[in-house]
Structure 1
Amino acid sequence: MSRDAVITALCAPSLAAVVDLVLWVEPGEDGQSVAHAANHLGRVRLHPGGRHELLDGTDPIASEDPMAFLPYERELAGEGPRVSTDNAYPYAAERVLSFFSDADRSPDVAVVHTPRHFFPDEGGHRGEHGSLDVIQSRAPLVLSGAGVRRRGAVHEHARLVDVGPTLAHLAGVPSADLVDGAGDALDGRVLTAYLDDVPDGQQRRVVGILWDGAHCSDLLHLAEAGELPGVARLIERGVALRGGAVAQFPSVTLTNHTSILTGVGPGRHGVLGNVYFDRATGERVVPNDETTWHRSAEWLHGHARTVFEMVNDHVAPRQTPRTASVDEAIDRGADYATMQLIRASGNSRGAGGLGDQLPDPHSSPFIGDPAHLEDGYFRWGVQVDDLGLQQMLQLWADPAGAPVLTWWANVVTDAGHHGGGPRSAMARDALRQADRRLVAFLDHLDALGVADEVTFLLTADHGFEGADESVTGSWRPALDALGIAYRDEGPGLIYLL
């Protein structure tokens, strides 16, 4: 009854400017959970495969098209306040069911912000993500190099849970071992349509690159315009999906870093968001913080298995490092990991305690407009990413000793999109400087004569949409008025107490 009251309150027309969707699950006739969505327009029961049962009013999820708002001109033309019936929510049932399948950590109700909601007092920014909707869920996906078919940009899409299995496959993990720690099949699949046919278990050297928060369509647009020559080099030697890769819900950082590197959704790996509540421990978990990134493996469920663990099981231990994780929180099993160095330091501030160990951002050769360094997150992102490139060059100083799988996370792209919103000067400066680091690494491999022997995968953890500073407000007063005890983490994850 409390949950129903919360849902009703959140679906009030007076909150339509800030509440896009309300999501929850209920037991079905067969005892299995069934996904539901509602807003001020109506309610619907969602089934895997895109089947909808309208329960009341108008279906608030009119489309699940993962290719909505393409070509890019359609996204630009459709930008602005829009109701959910003008939006698209790919794999709605599948993503909602995964999110609500953790008995201890899943909330009772999830609230999805409208795309234009601006809520800086509760952690919001000019650029936002986290939604179930297609633009905030669309991450870029580029495959390139050895073993990849040269197809250029194609009008297709994948899912972020497909990235981990694809990396593992390319690094030589046999199909039979693409399973979690309990032996169950992963949620993701190997993207074989873009790869050469090779014997199962054949090993290549693989470099996976994550540009946190990089906007898929703008990245491809800038690459085609000649402004991201590194990305263009990758696409010329491989394939780019215009529909990108659909993130898991919520489309936030740590949820999707973990989904990428385990090949399963949040209900299976346990990282329900950048902040969530664990009923079993009574703990408020905040994995997406500079003081806690190095602890992220602590919150993975025991049956989750990282791609580093999968690859290490099939690479001779005499080769060290077999796997490397650069500036990535989800590093469990990697032979070399930046977070290992932070853990070994014993600094209670984690990555926030690096201090003088980080390069001077003002002397970085990769930034475009130094004025963006006035933004603290952007400035820190420049420092972290410069240090990340240093690590990559060191790991690949001698190709004979380079890891079989190298994962390289970059953060300034997220800072630029949060600080300015997609397509802003700050966001595009971040993309260009990330590309300059990529070019430096590619040039390094060319100089070593091994670039053609390496397979590359470039992606992100989510997309971005721009908030509207005139669209403000909060649903908390409406919930407070119910007199029901609850926690609102995120905000948007409602736990009834």
Structure 2
Amino acid sequence: MSNLDAALATLVDPSLAPIVEMALVRRDGAYEAHAVDGSVRFRRHDPDGGPDGPGPARGWTFTVESVDGRNPLGDQSLDRFAGLDAELAHRFPDRTANAYPFAYEQVAQLFDHPNAPDVCVVHTAAHHWADQGGHIGEHGSLGAVQCRAPFLISGPGARADGVVGGVAAQMVDIAPTVLALLGRDPSVLEGADGRPIEGVLDRAAIDAGEGPEHVVGFLLDGCNPNVLLDAVAAGDAPNIAGLLARGTALRDGIVSSLPTVTLPNHTTVITGRHPGHHGILHNAWWDRSRREQVITNSPETWATAMDALLPGTDSIHLAVQRTEPGAFTASVNEPADHGASFSTFDLMRRGVRMVDFPRTADGLPHSSEMFVRPVKDYALFTQVDHHGTEQAVGIISGSYLGTEYPMPRFLWVNYALTDSAFHEGGPHSEIARASIRDTDGRIGEVLAALERRGVRERTTVFLCADHGMEESDPAVGGDWSPALAAAGLDVRDEAFGFLYIDP
């Protein structure tokens, strides 16, 4: 038995079934998903692929070669657990009840990266990373709740249909959609895996030249779409509710790319590429050729995270500037700032001191005191998001840190508070709801700045997240590493799920 087969046999042993949903591998040109109750082997057909690598995912098709028992990826329903009531009625769903939207595409793209793992372990919906400092709220898997992020759009060139279901959308589709709104041919975004989300675009307005002059995007990191839409309906997010009143939100959410974690999907939003194609493979991974760990998602590495992008990777910023020389774009509090004219992290790389960073969250506007005082991360990201709001408002107003700026054609604002709060208490907690209220207030500040600048009616605003967030079960802890070690396997586990055998 090969070491790969030994690892698979260990991972799908019934003793690990409570924490291992499935194990994914690529071998002999095909892809496999293995679970305790079955496996599937499938193959990708890529008409646009060539000697230099695969073509964009939008051209792929798949055929299943074999199934043994239950196909772990057989249910790819887009609407599973959509709506808060449906999610609450199915806490910790079993593998036989879960769904995995776009699963074949998600698996195939991952293994296109030269440093993809030998085995990608997908943890169960209930799994709580207790031994690794786990949280009540978790994400990272292919499962419906963890992969599904919110998407809402409002303004010129966007439909105004309220909350709609049945729209199949992925994170890779956001960048082409932004370019379509701005009147660009989305094909100018080189190597994009996605295509415009036609279900949210007012094509007649765009074709008539009545699209927006500016696009502003907000990312609410780690925000569960069921919870967000419920908060809007309950009156907890009046500014987002105002956007929805004149826009469209996807009931079934938008599907993030595997792994459904932070920096890979921040980068996917901006580039229109899956992680296996843009190069930010995970928050951490193993570089086989250099025999060293790559970490991108930490305070020490955020500013240089984009150094790991694969050559030739495009972005919204670059595509806008390429098609409109002199166009100004801005990226606020976003490590995935590839090509932006203004970037918070570029200021950091150049040693520009942003002296107005608040020293404490106490007294800041849109700050829930009941969580700011006792929860360290809530306080920290309240400060970070307040600072980001001040940057965005300054840029829209025309001046920040003594430098004058034109109104951005594309402005991107990353908010981190929701991720920390949803992790801390889980998506259905009061701290999670408070983070939505606070972030909604900050979004309101940016919208007010657009109004003062006189561009609000000519600006389309969209809101998304980088991944979903699901409540875990603290009683279902544990790690697969001891079992792999007991089997005599030398395995390097990066970011809890990327396994490199005999590294």
Q: Structures share a fold, TM > 0.5?
A: yes
User: Paired residue for 1:423?
Assistant: 428
User: Paired residue for 2:51?
Assistant: none
How far apart in 2 are the matches of 1:403 and 1:238? 21
Q: Is 2:193 the partner of 1:187?
A: yes
User: Paired residue for 1:36?
Assistant: 32
With 354-363 and 381-390 compared, the bigger mean Cα shift is at 354-363
- Structure 1 residues 90, 145: CA separation in 2 closer, same or farther (over 3 Å shift)? same
With 6-15 and 116-125 compared, the bigger mean Cα shift is at 116-125
Letter in 2 for 1:140: P
How far residue 375 of structure 1 moved from its aligned partner, in angstroms, is 2.3
Q: Is 2:124 the partner of 1:114?
A: yes
Correspondent of 2:95 among 73, 79, 84: 84
Q: Is 2:299 the partner of 1:293?
A: no
- Structure 1 residues 355, 365: CA separation in 2 closer, same or farther (over 3 Å shift)? same
Residues 115-134 of structure 1: pairs in structure 2 closer than 5 A: 115-134=125-144
Conservation of the 8 A alpha-carbon contact between 1:62 and 1:87:
no
Across the two proteins, how many residue pairs are aligned to each other?
476
Residues 258-297 of structure 1: pairs in structure 2 closer than 5 A: 258-297=267-306
User: Paired residue for 2:249?
Assistant: 240
How far apart in 2 are the matches of 1:2 and 1:459? 41
Q: Is 2:17 the partner of 1:16?
A: yes
Deviations 1:131-155 (A, max 9, x none): 0111000000001011112111101
Letter in 2 for 1:280: S
How far apart in 1 are the matches of 2:101 and 2:202? 28
Conservation of the 8 A alpha-carbon contact between 1:172 and 1:314:
no
How far apart in 2 are the matches of 1:361 and 1:427? 17
User: Paired residue for 2:85?
Assistant: 73
How far apart in 1 are the matches of 2:459 and 2:187? 24
How far apart in 2 are the matches of 1:206 and 1:86? 39
How far residue 53 of structure 1 moved from its aligned partner, in angstroms, is 5.0
How far residue 171 of structure 1 moved from its aligned partner, in angstroms, is 3.0
Conservation of the 8 A alpha-carbon contact between 2:396 and 2:453:
no
How far apart in 1 are the matches of 2:130 and 2:372? 19
- Structure 1 residues 285, 238: CA separation in 2 closer, same or farther (over 3 Å shift)? same
SS in 1 for 2:397: coil
Letter in 1 for 2:32: H
How far residue 203 of structure 1 moved from its aligned partner, in angstroms, is 6.4
User: Paired residue for 2:189?
Assistant: 178
How far apart in 2 are the matches of 1:356 and 1:376? 20
Q: Is 2:456 the partner of 1:451?
A: yes
How far residue 85 of structure 1 moved from its aligned partner, in angstroms, is 1.1
How far apart in 2 are the matches of 1:295 and 1:384? 18
How far residue 51 of structure 1 moved from its aligned partner, in angstroms, is 5.7
- Gap runs ≥5 in structure 2: 45-60, 400-404
User: Paired residue for 1:138?
Assistant: 148
Conservation of the 8 A alpha-carbon contact between 1:372 and 1:426:
no
User: Paired residue for 2:5?
Assistant: 4
SS in 2 for 1:471: coil
- Structure 1 residues 200, 97: CA separation in 2 closer, same or farther (over 3 Å shift)? farther
Letter in 2 for 1:113: H
Conservation of the 8 A alpha-carbon contact between 1:171 and 1:405:
no
SS in 2 for 1:362: coil
Deviations 1:118-176 (A, max 9, x none): 12332421110000111000000001011112111101341110011112222343334
Residues 193-272 of structure 1: pairs in structure 2 closer than 5 A: 193-197=199-203, 198-199=206-207, 204-272=213-281
- Structure 1 residues 50, 232: CA separation in 2 closer, same or farther (over 3 Å shift)? farther
User: Paired residue for 2:157?
Assistant: 147
Moved >6 Å (runs of 4+): 200-203
TM-score by length of 1: 0.91
SS in 2 for 1:207: strand
Conservation of the 8 A alpha-carbon contact between 1:270 and 1:299:
yes
Conservation of the 8 A alpha-carbon contact between 2:212 and 2:460:
no
Letter in 1 for 2:268: S
User: Paired residue for 2:486?
Assistant: 481
Conservation of the 8 A alpha-carbon contact between 1:172 and 1:311:
no
TM-score by length of 2: 0.90
Conservation of the 8 A alpha-carbon contact between 1:61 and 1:85:
no
How far apart in 2 are the matches of 1:407 and 1:393? 12
Report the identity percentage.
36
How far residue 114 of structure 1 moved from its aligned partner, in angstroms, is 1.1
How far apart in 2 are the matches of 1:166 and 1:402? 20
How far residue 212 of structure 1 moved from its aligned partner, in angstroms, is 0.4
Residues 431-470 of structure 1: pairs in structure 2 closer than 5 A: 431-470=436-475
Conservation of the 8 A alpha-carbon contact between 2:157 and 2:212:
no
Conservation of the 8 A alpha-carbon contact between 1:174 and 1:200:
no
- Structure 1 residues 47, 231: CA separation in 2 closer, same or farther (over 3 Å shift)? farther
How far apart in 2 are the matches of 1:355 and 1:477? 47
How far residue 305 of structure 1 moved from its aligned partner, in angstroms, is 0.9
How far apart in 1 are the matches of 2:77 and 2:182? 32
How far residue 482 of structure 1 moved from its aligned partner, in angstroms, is 2.1
Deviations 1:373-430 (A, max 9, x none): 4322221110110001101111111499211000000000000001111111111111
User: Paired residue for 1:183?
Assistant: none
User: Paired residue for 1:312?
Assistant: 321
How far residue 102 of structure 1 moved from its aligned partner, in angstroms, is 1.3
SS in 1 for 2:347: helix
How far residue 368 of structure 1 moved from its aligned partner, in angstroms, is 2.1
Q: Is 2:407 the partner of 1:402?
A: yes
Letter in 2 for 1:84: R
Conservation of the 8 A alpha-carbon contact between 2:81 and 2:87:
yes
Deviations 1:433-470 (A, max 9, x none): 00011112222323443211101110000000111111
User: Paired residue for 1:351?
Assistant: none
With 237-246 and 364-373 compared, the bigger mean Cα shift is at 364-373
How far residue 261 of structure 1 moved from its aligned partner, in angstroms, is 0.7
SS in 2 for 1:310: helix
User: Paired residue for 2:50?
Assistant: none
Conservation of the 8 A alpha-carbon contact between 2:422 and 2:469:
yes
Conservation of the 8 A alpha-carbon contact between 1:275 and 1:288:
yes
Letter in 2 for 1:381: F
Deviations 1:458-493 (A, max 9, x none): 000000011111111111111001222221011110
Conservation of the 8 A alpha-carbon contact between 1:156 and 1:244:
no
- Structure 1 residues 196, 371: CA separation in 2 closer, same or farther (over 3 Å shift)? closer
User: Paired residue for 2:312?
Assistant: 303
With 187-196 and 383-392 compared, the bigger mean Cα shift is at 187-196
Conservation of the 8 A alpha-carbon contact between 1:50 and 1:91:
no
SS in 1 for 2:412: strand
